[in-house]
Copies of this chain bind each other. A is one copy, B any other.
């Protein structure tokens, strides 16, 4: 069997990780495999600054121009670890046109341009592998696509962003507010200087788009994913929820219901004893429900150079040994739209809810608020009201039974107008069955 010739485009944290695994002192792949990948070329716009530090063999082509790799006839597999959708889109498109298989860690590229890139790969008879695009080192793509192929996937619940999970874990465990923890995360390198795609949930939505395509084959518009981030999360809600037995996580959720498919990213309360509630810090966790397997959870490092490189190397071997292509060719979800499932509007979903009100400390307030809630077909499961005065009123916390989001928004709209209600009304969705 001929060696697998690899061209790497991007020598950041992940690209360096891939280089370290392929060229390490005691290369593990040579110990395990008869046919191993050979790193032939590396392109990076700062190659002249980075390469000398890495003690690379002189046989490896080093360039600052991706085209030198894409147009190189010796190369079989292009590893794209640039990120973003500008150069990366060009690299993947041209690579496919030049007859290269693609391995990528680029969730944004696949979430936004996945459908057309998969189509192009099929046309030219090549394949795209992308384990590293979701949850770094955790084999969630292989699990959904291959290991659970015999399952109709019912739902996926994922903690798929390490930055936000670090922030929420730290807020809960150290009783610190959002702004303080974000600053610390930026200092430690767990959050970028512009953390908006992480904290507003867009990064999680990109990953959910990829997982949903594997689970349901939906060719949906990325914009149809409902997306709420964590930047408005108040420490006091985490504390009240904790008293009620819940842990707050930013979840990416897809769920097949009788009404259609739910696709949503938002802060979510989970029962303390749910396996996902124990996935802490920068770790990721994905919980999948399938009709044959029941429930399964995978957790581990969702980011980091070496962990992500671990997934990329697995993909290189998969592609290089010819294991990736038969699946890529045969998997209908990459090509067509086999399920007649529509993505339902957030107002149509059903969930349990946590409410936080600040109310005037006068008689009749609870009756008024619970009256409006009842009139909107929402049942109240539990209530906390203490005597403390905060924010010019008394905090009133409620947890509902299952209710329709449209009804919840209507009720909140009415409650906000009450004179006895002071300041912001907040709600957080609760998932406690995870089925």
- List the interface of chain A (C-beta within 8 A of B): 1, 17, 21, 26, 28-29, 31-35, 131, 137-139, 142-143, 146-152, 217, 273, 275, 278, 290-301, 304, 306-307, 309-311, 313-314, 317-318, 321-323, 326-327, 329-333, 338-339
Taking a contact as CB atoms under 8 Å apart, the answer to whether A299 and B300 are in contact is no
Using A151-B310, A317-B149, A332-B32 as known contacts, say yes or no to A299 and B326 having CB atoms under 8 A apart.
Answer: no
Taking a contact as CB atoms under 8 Å apart, the answer to whether B307 and A301 are in contact is no
Taking a contact as CB atoms under 8 Å apart, the answer to whether A143 and B137 are in contact is no
Using A297-B300, A298-B298 as known contacts, say yes or no to A31 and B137 having CB atoms under 8 A apart.
Answer: no
Using A31-B338, A151-B28, A332-B33 as known contacts, say yes or no to A146 and B314 having CB atoms under 8 A apart.
Answer: yes
Taking a contact as CB atoms under 8 Å apart, the answer to whether B293 and A332 are in contact is no
Closest CB of chain B to A14's CB: distance in Å?
11
Contacting residues, chain B, for A322 (C-beta < 8 A): 322, 326
User: Bound state CA distance, A240 and B374, in angstroms?
Assistant: 49
Closest CB of chain B to A300's CB: distance in Å?
3
Taking a contact as CB atoms under 8 Å apart, the answer to whether A294 and B150 are in contact is no
Contacting residues, chain B, for A28 (C-beta < 8 A): 149-152, 291
Contacting residues, chain B, for A34 (C-beta < 8 A): 329-330, 332
Using A149-B314, A150-B29, A314-B148 as known contacts, say yes or no to A301 and B306 having CB atoms under 8 A apart.
Answer: no
Taking a contact as CB atoms under 8 Å apart, the answer to whether B142 and A333 are in contact is no
Closest CB of chain B to A165's CB: distance in Å?
14
Report copies per complex.
2
Using A217-B32, A299-B296 as known contacts, say yes or no to A21 and B150 having CB atoms under 8 A apart.
Answer: yes
Taking a contact as CB atoms under 8 Å apart, the answer to whether A147 and B296 are in contact is no
* Pick from B149, B294, B309: contact of A137, CB under 8 Å: B294
Which secondary structure dominates chain A's binding surface?
A: mixed
- Ordered by A's residue number, 13 sampled pairs between the chains whose C-beta atoms are within 8 Å are A31-B332, A31-B339, A32-B149, A137-B292, A142-B142, A142-B146, A146-B317, A149-B314, A149-B317, A292-B309, A293-B310, A294-B300, A296-B299
Closest 5 CB pairs of A and B: A150-B313, A296-B300, A139-B147, A292-B310, A321-B326
Contacting residues, chain B, for A33 (C-beta < 8 A): 149, 330-332
Contacting residues, chain B, for A339 (C-beta < 8 A): 31
User: Bound state CA distance, A339 and B30, in angstroms?
Assistant: 12
Contacting residues, chain B, for A307 (C-beta < 8 A): 292-294
Contacting residues, chain B, for A310 (C-beta < 8 A): 147-148, 150-151, 290, 292-293
User: Bound state CA distance, A354 and B322, in angstroms?
Assistant: 50
Taking a contact as CB atoms under 8 Å apart, the answer to whether A297 and B298 are in contact is yes
User: Bound state CA distance, A273 and B290, in angstroms?
Assistant: 28
* Pick from B138, B146, B148, B295: contact of A301, CB under 8 Å: B295
Q: In the complex, which residue of chain B has the Cβ closest to the Cβ of A152? A: B28
Contacting residues, chain B, for A273 (C-beta < 8 A): 278
Taking a contact as CB atoms under 8 Å apart, the answer to whether B309 and A300 are in contact is no
Known: A148-B310, A275-B278, A290-B310. 19 other contacts (CB 8 A): A1-B330, A17-B292, A28-B150, A28-B152, A29-B149, A32-B331, A33-B149, A33-B332, A142-B147, A146-B317, A147-B310, A273-B278, A292-B306, A293-B301, A293-B310, A294-B300, A296-B298, A297-B297, A297-B299
Taking a contact as CB atoms under 8 Å apart, the answer to whether A306 and B330 are in contact is no
User: Bound state CA distance, A330 and B273, in angstroms?
Assistant: 43
User: Bound state CA distance, A104 and B304, in angstroms?
Assistant: 36
Taking a contact as CB atoms under 8 Å apart, the answer to whether B35 and A330 are in contact is yes
Closest CB of chain B to A261's CB: distance in Å?
15
Contacting residues, chain B, for A296 (C-beta < 8 A): 137-138, 298-301
Contacting residues, chain B, for A290 (C-beta < 8 A): 310
Closest CB of chain B to A162's CB: distance in Å?
12
Contacting residues, chain B, for A148 (C-beta < 8 A): 139, 310, 314
User: Bound state CA distance, A338 and B314, in angstroms?
Assistant: 20
User: Bound state CA distance, A314 and B317, in angstroms?
Assistant: 19
